[in-house]
Amino acid sequence: MEQFGGINLSHYELANLKTPCYVVNETQLERNLKLLNDVQTKAECKILLAFKGFAMWRLAPLVMRYLSGTSASSVSEAMLGYNEFGGELHVYAPAFSDADMAEHVKMANHIVFNSPGQYKRFKSLLADHPNIQAGIRLNPEHSETDTAIYDPSGQYSRLGTTYNNLLENIEDIEGITGLHFHNLCELNADALERTLAVVEEKFSFLFKRISWINFGGGHHITRSDYDVEALIRIIKAFKVKYKLEVYLEPGEAIALNTGVLVSSVEDVFHNDMDIAILDTSATAHMPDVLEMPYRPYILNADEANKKEFTYRLGGVTCLAGDVIGDYSFGKRLRVGDRLIFGDMAHYTMVKNNTFNGVCLPSIYLYNEETEKCRVVKHFSYEDYKGRLS
Ligand SMILES: Cc1ncc(COP(=O)(O)O)c(C=O)c1O
């Protein structure tokens, strides 16, 4: 038996999966959702699914049993929220075009603008849609992450409105009913507390004229060492002080540790070190491995040279840098061996691509109670062709 992330695949099932494939554990997803719902109930806040992290619409009924709605950053994501999920639909993007806004006003409950200029541009259109709540995204200019591409508060950031920018354009935000900030990435409640202190210090002068505030995503609420009690305390105290509706819009926390990527070894050879080529790809199927970058966990593997046989694991595209990393194993890798990558449900399916025409991984759903794995999606040449013309 291979047991990983609550997924308990028999050798038979593992051998019969069409690789590469994501296997999403719906039981674990529900556990995450229950924890998030607990936060909603205890802190009296609302939690939205940020599609940018996880957008398995097939699981919409399960997600919406627990969450208050969804958060979209494009017209396509908004349509997914509106058509498949229901609940509240919040939309934010660094900029909206006229064409985007014409669609968003048909679907969204909340629209968050990145700058006073964007709000001003669409204000007259919004006047025809009095039920839409308009907000401004703030840039607290307070960094909590060392990874520059994940830091919305970094120098010259294009995300959100700074204190100075807001003051200079204060007349232009007349009519907004809410504020939004997103400043965290895979962080604990202490990072929220520090960010919130800065937001209060700089922007609380606006709190009297709004009714809601969105604390963004990046809260790693479902990670085992996350301080859920602290989060609840922080939100409750904030609500008592300012009487505002509080929203969170995590993506990763919803699907954290809910899925694996199963791949097969297709070739093994030597070039100063042992190299294994897999049927998956860092750049096409797990792009954050290169973009973030990070080293994914692999079942039964260790750091290079910790176990007897070390391999450089390479992807199947022609990109020289399509390398997942160097890992060691207790036995030699052979063609046909299956490697299982951990925590692959979020920021994978939503970001993957068909570079080199490599096929997208199939998607399976696993249920812990039945211990059964069922295929929900295979991709084909048509998916590649459909993106081209
Ligand atoms: C505006 C906004 N909201 C929510 C999220 C979701 O963040 P996470 O998946 O880290 O929780 C992001 C991620 O980039 C974001 O930019």
Please state the atom number of ligand 1 nearest to the C-alpha of residue 253: 11
Parallel, antiparallel, or unpaired: how do β-strands 259-270 and 21-25 relate?
antiparallel
Residue 135 Cβ inside 6 Å of ligand 1? The answer reads no
> Around Cβ 64, how many Cβ atoms within 10 Å?
17
Q: Which atom of ligand 1 is nearest to the CA of 184?
A: 10
Per-residue pLDDT reduced to its tens digit, 117-164:
999 999 999 999 999 999 999 999 999 998 899 999 999 999 999 999
Is 144 a pocket residue for ligand 1 (Cβ < 6 Å)? Answer: no
Angle subtended by helix axes 116-127 and 98-107, to nearest 10:
60
**46, 52, 153, 184: which to mutate for ligand 1, most atoms within 8 A of CB?**
52
Q: Give the model's pLDDT for residue 293.
A: 92
Please choose, from the candidates 294, 252, 310, 46, the residue with its C-alpha nearest in 3D space to the C-alpha of residue 147.
Answer: 294
Nearest atom within ligand 1 for CA of residue 186: 10
CATH level 3 topology of 44-255: TIM Barrel (3.20.20)
- How confident is the model over 275-285, as pLDDT tens digits? 999 999 999 99
pLDDT in tens, 299-326: 999 999 999 999 999 999 999 999 999 9
- Is the confidence at residue 2, as pLDDT, over 70? no
Read off the pLDDT of each residue in 329-351 and give the average, rounded to a whole number: 97
Q: Whole-prediction pTM value?
A: 0.97
What per-residue confidence (pLDDT) applies to 1?
42
Cα separations (Å) of 28 from 3, 32, 180, 256, 325? Answer: 13, 6, 29, 9, 27
Q: Describe the crossing of helices 228-242 and 189-203 by its angle, rounded to 10 degrees.
A: 20
77 lines ligand 1 (CB under 6 A): no
Distance 186 CA to ligand 1 centre (A): 10
- Tell me what the pLDDT averaged over the chain comes to: 96
Q: What is the pLDDT at residue 6?
A: 79
Average pLDDT on 259-264 reads 97
pLDDT in tens, 372-381: 999 999 999 9
How confident is the model over 210-240, as pLDDT tens digits?
Answer: 999 999 999 999 999 999 999 999 999 999 9
CA of 67 to the centre of ligand 1 (A): 16
pLDDT of residue 99: 98
pLDDT at 12: 75
Q: Which CATH homologous superfamily contains domain 2-24+258-385?
A: Lyase, Ornithine Decarboxylase; Chain A, domain 1 (2.40.37.10)
Distance 336 CA to ligand 1 centre (A): 37
The percent of residues above 90 in pLDDT, for the chain, comes to 95
- Report how far ligand 1's centroid is from the alpha carbon of 7 (Å): 27
Every domain of the chain and the residues it spans: 2-24+258-385, 44-255
Answer whether 111 contacts ligand 1 (Cβ < 6 A).
no
Structure token pair of residue 195: 């960010």
Q: What pLDDT shows up at residue 166?
A: 97
Return the residue whose CA atom lies nearest to atom 16 of ligand 1: 182
Q: Is 59 near ligand 1, meaning CB less than 6 Å away?
A: no
Q: Ligand 1 centre from 55 Cα, in Å?
A: 13
Whether residue 287 has its Cβ less than 6 Å from ligand 1: no
Please tell me the distance between residue 308's alpha carbon and the centre of ligand 1 in angstroms.
Answer: 40
**Which residue in this structure is represented by tokens 């919803």?**
254
Is 185 near ligand 1, meaning CB less than 6 Å away? yes
